[in-house]
Amino acid sequence: MLVLGIESSCDETGVALYDTRRGLLAHALHSQIDMHAAYGGVVPELASRDHIRRALPLTQQVLAQADKTLQDIEGIAYTQGPGLAGALLVGTSIAQSLAFALNVPSIGVHHLEGHLLAPMLEENPPAFPFVALLVSGGHSQLMRVDGIGQYELLGDTLDDAAGEAFDKTAKLMKLGYPGGPALSKLAESGKPRFQLPRPMLNSPDLNFSFSGLKTAVLTLVNNQPQLDQETVQDIAWEFQESVTEILALKCMKALKQTKLKRLVVSGGVGANKRLRQRLNSEAEKRGATVSYPRLEFCTDNGAMIAFAGAMRLHAMQQSTPDYSFSVRPRWDLAELKAPA
């Protein structure tokens, strides 16, 4: 089955073609970062309008890359949620319109399931079951994954997500938008100098909390007589150490609790070099393995949606296509069920 995947949940338009026999054939992505940078964050209306402009040209681009035509498509997957309602509606309406015109089945994909399964696109995909760390600007969750649609929530953030904490902390230090990657880059030149808390590091559960850490950074910044480059680098270093230590320890606790030996890390923060160093080191000590998607698939992309949709479409029994649609800006991953 050749499946077209469309991702439009926030500020990136992603389109990809996935073949259930040959794998990923082509993918293309347009990021809106430059457009939103002037506002210091994502403007939902502008995001939606830009998705309208980009989705069809990107679809034509991936078809040309794969040497395919619209008539070759046998199924269409799209991000149904969670995300920005207007942005989701753009991708959903385009996907359902194409599916209706081509008379092929379509399926709405949970955005986080796409991230969760993104490492499956690699040459050596992890086998089920495994523990997954979903860590991004909107989510910080630990899940037990026994198969597609078989997800058990082990731990969640009680307030800010890790990526959100990165971005807000970067904003406190006037690093621009998006601040998370800029903060991580500065941390590479920093050194041990300050001490920040590790919220919930030793709590008996697997939950996270990062809002207090952000407040601690604000207090630290306000107490500096001068916020020069060296000081900013050292604060960034300590902040990154705090977040990555918390994430790594909770992941190891999750592996011990579930008695599993495989960890999968997905989401934008999963691209952080220091986090990968910590996880690889701690997992090796315990005889466990860690799998990541390639860097370009850590952030939002069409490939993960095409793959997740293909897995579900391939498993579905034949039925009359339903081209009505709705979007789910809020959608709990635990609500998903395994394909029939």
Which residues fall in the annotated binding site?
111, 115, 134-138, 167, 180, 272, 300
What torsion do the CA atoms of 328, 334, 336, 339 make, to the nearest 10 degrees?
Answer: 160
- What are the residue ranges of helices labelled H in 66-153? 85-102, 111-117
Instruction: For residue 199, say if its preceding peptide bond is cis, omega within 30 degrees of 0.
Output: no
- Report the binding-site residues for substrate: 134-138, 167, 180, 272
- Report the run of H or E that residue 107 belongs to, with start and end: strand 106-110
Report the number of secondary-structure helices (H) and strands (E) in the chain: 10, 10
- Report the binding-site residues for Fe cation: 111, 115, 300
Distance between CA atoms of residues 90 and 97, nearest Å: 11
Q: How far is CA 338 from the centre of its chain?
A: 21
Contact between residue 98 and residue 71 where contact means Cβ atoms under 8 Å apart: no
What are the E-state strand segments in 230-304? 262-266, 289-291
Contact between residue 273 and residue 187 where contact means Cβ atoms under 8 Å apart: no
Residue 202: DSSP 8-state = T
Position 251: which residue type? Answer: C
Distance between CA atoms of residues 5 and 164, nearest Å: 26
Distance between CA atoms of residues 144 and 203, nearest Å: 19
